[in-house]
Amino acid sequence: MTASQKKHDLKDAKYIKYVDRFQIDKGTINRKKKVQRIVSTAVVLLCVAFLIFGGFNLVGANTYAYVLTVNGDEIATMASEGEAQSAIDNYINQLSDKTGMKLSYDDHVQIDKISADGVVYASTADAAKALDGKMNIMADAVGVYIDGKISMYVADEDTARNAVAKVKDYYSADAGKSLISVNVLEKIAVSTTQVALDKVLDENSAVNMLMYGSAGNHYYHVADSGCTLADVADANKIEAAQLSKLNPALTSGELPLGTAVVLTNFDPLISVQVAKEVVENKDLAYKTETIDNAKLARGTENVVTKGVNGKEEVTSKVLETNGVVVSSTRLSGKTLEKPVDQVVERGVKIVVASRGNSSSGILGWPLAGNITSRFGARSLGYHTGIDIDGEVGDTVVAAESGTVIFAQYDGNYGNLIKIDHGGGLATWYAHLSKYYVSVGDEVQRGDSIGSVGVTGRTTGSHLHFEVRINDDAYNPLNYLD
Ligand SMILES: [Zn+2]
């Protein structure tokens, strides 16, 4: 036995391993059937051992064999050159039948004639099996272009169409009768091309590619206690709504440790926009009506009629992109139950309270500061209010809620604001530098209405504040709290 023959024998032995296995599986040779009861690997090992030690004579009357080699990989030892070629043809044809595509190959195929004693020849079918994964098969396919960019390859235009339709169905199926339209925002085009068969996606893989991009599915395993779905969304920069949709079984609240949260770093190739008309019942908020009651003390409020929300049927147009709501526009509303307005009675009776006298005062201080001039007679004449010291620009606030009835320059008062609190009570704010309110504005107690200034007849910056009841000036200190 020469060195080269020995090499071939060893190679053949490697191959016989295949043959044995296939034949046992198929049960085509009686001799092999008998040993099916024995573990097949043991049989294989035994056969190899026999062959290596030259003690095992195998079938085969020919003294020649044909070794089929693809890209330097030895595939099978065949009885004839024709069978070797047939093995390749069979393999390509089977693949072609399976994929429905016209295929070709781009490989270095070599068939070597060798002298071979006692070799088991591979059948065409077995050789075809052995070729699997060894060849660079090219397919006549179509490239799918999304907004002009090649994005994937599929067998044909129909596959591309079906995949896109499935994605559209996925996002619009829930809409049912409310569906208005479903559109893909990108432009999709196909073009025939030749590409490696392993690059060609089947329909379901194409659907996944369109929906998730090449990133594929990823999982996040909860490792911290107290972790919620919202935390996972935050940590992975995913919309919380999208994450909920991907994980319908996971509810809000703490996730058990080890929970696998489907993340999928979405990089969808297409954006499916679904428009639907959604009808839902919503609460119709009641309004509150306030009635002044001159017999009730100011600051007192009584609910006369309790408000009750009504119900309305609201129709909205909802736009979703890849399952996430991007807008909702109210189209119409139909009242099902009218709300009952709340009626509140508000006391407006002036309570003449005074410091150190009976009850506490009722007005809030319009400005915090020292009183530099009090109410009443003074050298320059009767003072109809109090002066509260302040710097130009200091904020003046409403002493009580009410309506602005005056906001303009008025002689000695300078810039003057008057607020009507109802029931004949009004407060005046003079010498202002700025107005923050205008006539007709409703203000709340404590709202900023203007700022301290030196307008009108004044010697320095301060707020001149008056309390008027039915236009008569009263000492503000009796009303301030
Ligand atoms: Zn004054």
- Give DSSP secondary structure letters for 209-260: HHHHGGG---EEE--STT-BHHHHHHHTT--HHHHHHH-TTPPSSBPPTT-E
pLDDT tens digits, 183-194:
999 999 999 999
Q: Give which of 171, 176, 152 is closest to 322, Cα–Cα.
A: 171
Q: How many CB atoms lie within 10 A of CB 477?
A: 15
Q: For position 354, what pLDDT does the model report?
A: 38
The larger pLDDT score, comparing residue 205 to residue 80, is at 80
Cα 457 to middle of ligand 1, angstroms: 9
Cα 387 to middle of ligand 1, angstroms: 5
Q: Is the pLDDT of residue 411 over 70?
A: yes
Q: For position 51, what pLDDT does the model report?
A: 46
The secondary structure of residue 24, as a DSSP letter, is H
Q: For position 256, what pLDDT does the model report?
A: 82
Distance CA 240, CA 250 (A): 12
Cα 463 to middle of ligand 1, angstroms: 7
Cα 420 to middle of ligand 1, angstroms: 20
Cα 395 to middle of ligand 1, angstroms: 17
Cα 388 to middle of ligand 1, angstroms: 8
Percent of the chain's residues with pLDDT above 90? 52
Cα 351 to middle of ligand 1, angstroms: 24
Cα 474 to middle of ligand 1, angstroms: 13
Task: Specify whether the CB–CB gap between 58 and 12 falls below 8 A.
Answer: no
The secondary structure of residue 58, as a DSSP letter, is P
SS3 category, 86? helix
Cα 377 to middle of ligand 1, angstroms: 12
Q: Chain-centre distance of CA 195, in angstroms?
A: 35
SS3 category, 436? coil
pLDDT tens digits, 435-470:
999 999 999 999 999 999 999 998 899 999 999 988
Task: Specify whether the CB–CB gap between 479 and 397 falls below 8 A.
Answer: no
pLDDT tens digits, 238-272:
888 878 877 777 777 888 887 778 776 668 899 99
Instruction: Say which residues have a Cβ less than 8 Å from residue 306's Cβ, sequence separation at least 6.
Output: 340, 342
Distances in Å between the Cα of 277 and the Cα atoms of 181, 249, 312 are 10, 27, 16
Q: Is the pLDDT of residue 182 over 60?
A: yes
Which of 214-218, 327-331, 342-346 has the weakest average pLDDT? Answer: 214-218
Q: For position 87, what pLDDT does the model report?
A: 92
Q: Is the pLDDT of residue 54 over 70?
A: no
Cα 385 to middle of ligand 1, angstroms: 6
Q: For position 11, what pLDDT does the model report?
A: 33
Which of 286-300, 370-384, 391-405 has the weakest average pLDDT? Answer: 286-300
Token output for 333: 């509303």
Percent of the chain's residues with pLDDT above 70? 82
Positions of E strands within 62-120: 64-70, 73-78, 103-105, 109-115
Cα 471 to middle of ligand 1, angstroms: 17
Cα 425 to middle of ligand 1, angstroms: 19
Cα 465 to middle of ligand 1, angstroms: 7
Q: How many CB atoms lie within 10 A of CB 326?
A: 11
Average pLDDT on 95-115 reads 90
Token output for 75: 């595939």
Q: Is the pLDDT of residue 347 over 80?
A: no
Q: Is the pLDDT of residue 342 over 80?
A: yes
The secondary structure of residue 122, as a DSSP letter, is P
Work out whether the CA dihedral 426, 432, 436, 437 comes out positive or negative.
positive
Distance CA 327, CA 332 (A): 16
Contacts made by residues 59-65, CB under 8 angstroms, sequence distance 24+: 59/120, 60/116, 60/117, 60/118, 60/119, 60/120, 60/121, 62/116, 62/121, 63/115, 63/116, 63/117, 64/113, 64/114, 64/115, 64/116, 65/12, 65/113, 65/114, 65/115, 65/116, 65/119, 65/121
Q: How many CB atoms lie within 10 A of CB 396?
A: 26
Q: What's the predicted TM-score (pTM) here?
A: 0.49
Cα 384 to middle of ligand 1, angstroms: 7
Q: Is the pLDDT of residue 346 over 60?
A: yes
Which of 35-44, 216-225, 383-392, 467-476 has the weakest average pLDDT? Answer: 35-44
Cα 464 to middle of ligand 1, angstroms: 4
Q: For position 18, what pLDDT does the model report?
A: 26
Q: For position 60, what pLDDT does the model report?
A: 46
Cα 401 to middle of ligand 1, angstroms: 23
Q: Is the pLDDT of residue 405 over 80?
A: yes
Q: For position 350, what pLDDT does the model report?
A: 63
Distance CA 306, CA 203 (A): 62
- Three-state SS sequence of 154-207: ECCHHHHHHHHHHHHHHHHHHHHHHEEEEEECCCEEEEEEEEEHHHEECHHHHH
